[in-house]
Amino acid sequence: MKILLTGGTGYIGSHTAVELVAAGYDEIVIFDNLSNSKLDVVDKIAKIAGVTLEFVEGDILDKAELKKLFSDYKFDAVMHFAGLKAVGESVEKPLQYYETNVGGTVNLLEAMQAAGVRKIIFSSTAVVYGEHAKVPYRETEPSGQGITNPYGETKHVVEEILKDLAESEPGWQVAILRYFNPIGNHSSGLIGEDPNGIPNNLMPIVMKVARGEMEELLIFGDDYETPDGSGVRDFIHVVDLARGHVAALKHLHEGVQIYNLGIGEGRSVFEVIESYERLSGRELPKRVVARRPGDLAAYWAAADLAAEKLNWKTELVLDDAMRDTLAFLKG
Ligand code: NAD
Ligand code: UDP
């Protein structure tokens, strides 16, 4: 089975490539413009997986490049990771986010349609549930209302496009995967989250502070109505998340399926810090500041649908992710 991974040198794509190979899917082509990843990831995947994957440098905004890609290779399925993901930046540059995440996806779907490729797994997010959804978030909850940033809107719009497309034409097999908060990295420490520029997610910031590249971690609020006052999220190990893609591929069938990929329980910002400090033996410079605008207090996944339909569940916990993060920091 020949599989295209757009954005495959990125954080989640690279881990998924490793897990696909481990599951026997080794005919993989990565298509990435390297705007938020590095080419050496291809070698690192090869080191871990024992297979050198094909890499094509290109942009999903370039229709001609996509056309050539789909004529050069006969793909059976696409995993679509390419996109922009910084929530704060999306507030400042909404057009860029809509152009890449929505426009780029439309280009990809057009190229797929022209080439007769109708299997796609799409990287969506728990953000699409919006601020009014009941916790734990279930796939049956309405989505698209009360989304607090343009990034989340772009993901919701793409979900709607995929539903409309599958409705318009028989044969499409679509899995929409709503990720919760991926953390950690492969236990080799060779690949991991290494964003360009200033990160805004918790773990990359913890890593920057641990490396001394940032002075301190700012804890955005300790006055939430949560057990310890700090924000609560469903932190899923990226290797479990990657295995969720393999499971989704195996269970693709006609129509659109939507699955949460999360652990199914919430952990707090203070618990993440505690895990870092205990496992590293070092105190993390940190300070509590005001809540970050737009942040929700607490949410996590209802994880039973993916367990039932995909025969997938998470195996790794916060401490595993932290241990692997420490290995990545050393490497
Ligand atoms: P990432 O930035 O590490 O990976 C995305 C990859 O896409 C990068 O390698 C980047 O170079 C590439 N890319 C960006 N624009 C492109 C373009 N125009 N053409 C071709 N390639 C392009 O991000 P990630 O964390 O691996 O996320 C993968 C997907 O999952 C994204 O769509 C993201 O929105 C989604 N997602 C991520 C998270 C998270 O917390 N990491 C949560 C929910 C959803
Ligand atoms: N957070 C924090 N300090 C930071 C970054 C994040 O306290 O520098 C908190 C944030 O308020 C939230 C949690 O960590 O409660 C997860 O935030 P992240 O940005 O990683 O993910 P998201 O908000 O998208 O769930």
Of these residues, 97, 98, 137, 151, which one is catalytic?
Answer: 151
Q: What is the pLDDT of residue 200?
A: 85
Q: Which atom of ligand 1 is nearest to the CA of 126?
A: 43
d(CA 97, CA 101): 6
pTM: 0.98
pLDDT tens readout for residues 21-73: 999 999 999 999 999 999 999 999 999 999 999 999 999 999 999 999 999 99
Q: What is the pLDDT of residue 167?
A: 98
**For ligand 1, is residue 101 a contact (CB within 6 Å)?**
no
Q: Which atom of ligand 2 is nearest to the CA of 180?
A: 25
d(CA 152, CA 156): 6
SS3 273: helix
- Whether residue 147 is predicted with pLDDT greater than 80 in this model: the reply is yes
Q: What is the pLDDT of residue 197?
A: 74
SS3 122: strand
Instruction: Tell me what the mean pLDDT of segment 188-205 comes to.
Output: 88
Give how far Cα 273 sits from Cα of 203, 209, 210, Å.
9, 11, 11
Q: What is the separation of C-alpha 37 from the centre of its chain, rounded to a whole number of angstroms? A: 14
Q: What is the pLDDT of residue 196?
A: 67
